[in-house]
């Protein structure tokens, strides 16, 4: 294998940004370099920029998560949606060992990769859940949405029937045919990609991982989907007072503008974009923050 020279190898920036996590992140870097391309985790053009593009970029989310940590000694719970190769979930777990991080990923080969990385880096605070993001939404959230839709439909239909009855008694107005449709209710279907049945219960144990809560203090993600979709996948997973922290590109504000209705629908408040420093001399990234009412 040809020697690949990452321009940040041995740079003091790594210790400055990663601190005590530098040692496990060095092992992570070496595994990505040795196996990442062959296993489809990174692209061949990324081999000489793994530090900047993947590890330090993911670490830019750490200060935002740290701000959300509780100070009463309890462990903060984090769900990293669509972890893929471990960005930012693996980096986050290494940098914040006081967090309990659940890496959510549906693809089997990536799940296997993530479990290997967790074992090799000895990340006892991280676990992997093989699920699609949309299948994680608690059943109570689905039921609540269905109830609201049905209540709204019942109110509308009742009003129409009342108006029609009034027209009939007074002898005015023509006969009206009212066609009703069932609400677009969501149904969670667990296929072969799922590792646990949802039902009305909390998510079951996965491998040696502890039981997974239905709601989290923080939900993170990186390059998973536009905010119009992410809102419905992530905000229902947050406890009241929790926060979505999503790494995004330069179009972050445009995504927020388009997703305003969805964010409000799932009780998100104060959506905003913040600049996220990566390291001195390196280009900043963007973080979308949405609080849960």
Where is 75: in which H helix or E strand? none
User: Is 134 known to sit in a ligand binding site?
Assistant: yes
Torsion of CA 35, 41, 46, 49, to 10 degrees: -80
CA 277 to chain centre: 21
Q: Give whole-number Cα distances, 134 to 33, 113, 137, 181, 194, in Å.
A: 31, 22, 6, 24, 11
CB 129 within 8 A of CB 209: yes
User: Is 39 known to sit in a ligand binding site?
Assistant: no
**How far is residue 278's CA from residue 233's CA, in Å, rounded to a whole number?**
27
User: Is 82 known to sit in a ligand binding site?
Assistant: yes
Structure tokens at 111: 């799940």
User: Is 283 known to sit in a ligand binding site?
Assistant: no
Residue 271 sits at φ, ψ, to 5 deg, of -70, 135
**How far is residue 215's CA from residue 2's CA, in Å, rounded to a whole number?**
45
Token pair 């007074």 in the structure block, residue: 170
Q: Which residues make beta-bridge pairs with 129?
A: 104
**How far is residue 256's CA from residue 242's CA, in Å, rounded to a whole number?**
18
User: Is 87 known to sit in a ligand binding site?
Assistant: yes
Structure tokens at 113: 């990769």
- Length of the chain in residues, anyone? 293
Binding residue ranges: 82, 87, 133-134, 222
Binding-site members for S-adenosyl-L-methionine are 82, 87, 133-134, 222
């Amino acid at each position: 294998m040809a020697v690949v020279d990452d321009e940040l190898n041995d740079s003091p920036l790594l210790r400055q940004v990663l601190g005590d996590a530098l040692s496990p992140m060095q092992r992570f870097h070496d595994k990505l370099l040795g196996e990442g391309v062959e296993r489809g985790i990174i692209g061949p053009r990324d081999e000489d920029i793994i530090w900047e593009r993947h590890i330090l970029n993911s670490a830019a989310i750490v200060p935002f998560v740290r701000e959300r940590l509780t100070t009463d000694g309890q462990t903060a719970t984090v769900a990293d949606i669509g972890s893929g190769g471990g960005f930012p979930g693996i980096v986050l777990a290494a940098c914040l060992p006081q967090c309990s991080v659940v890496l959510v990923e549906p693809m089997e080969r990536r799940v296997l990769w993530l479990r290997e990385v967790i074992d090799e880096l000895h990340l006892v605070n991280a676990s992997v859940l093989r699920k699609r993001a949309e299948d994680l939404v608690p059943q109570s959230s689905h039921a609540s949405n269905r109830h609201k839709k049905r209540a709204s439909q019942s109110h509308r239909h009742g009003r129409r029937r009342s108006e029609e009855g009034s027209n009939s008694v007074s002898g005015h107005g023509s006969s009206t045919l009212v066609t009703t449709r069932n609400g677009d209710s969501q149904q969670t279907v667990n296929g072969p990609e799922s590792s646990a049945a949802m039902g009305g219960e909390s998510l079951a144990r996965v491998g040696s991982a502890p039981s997974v809560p239905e709601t989290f203090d923080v939900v993170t993600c990186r390059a998973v989907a536009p905010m119009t979709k992410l809102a419905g996948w992530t905000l229902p997973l947050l406890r009241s007072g929790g926060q979505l922290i999503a790494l995004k590109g330069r179009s972050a504000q445009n995504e927020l503008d388009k997703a305003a209705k969805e964010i409000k629908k799932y009780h998100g408040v104060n959506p905003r974009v913040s600049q996220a420093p990566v390291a001195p001399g390196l280009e900043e990234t963007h973080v979308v923050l949405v609080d849960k009412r």
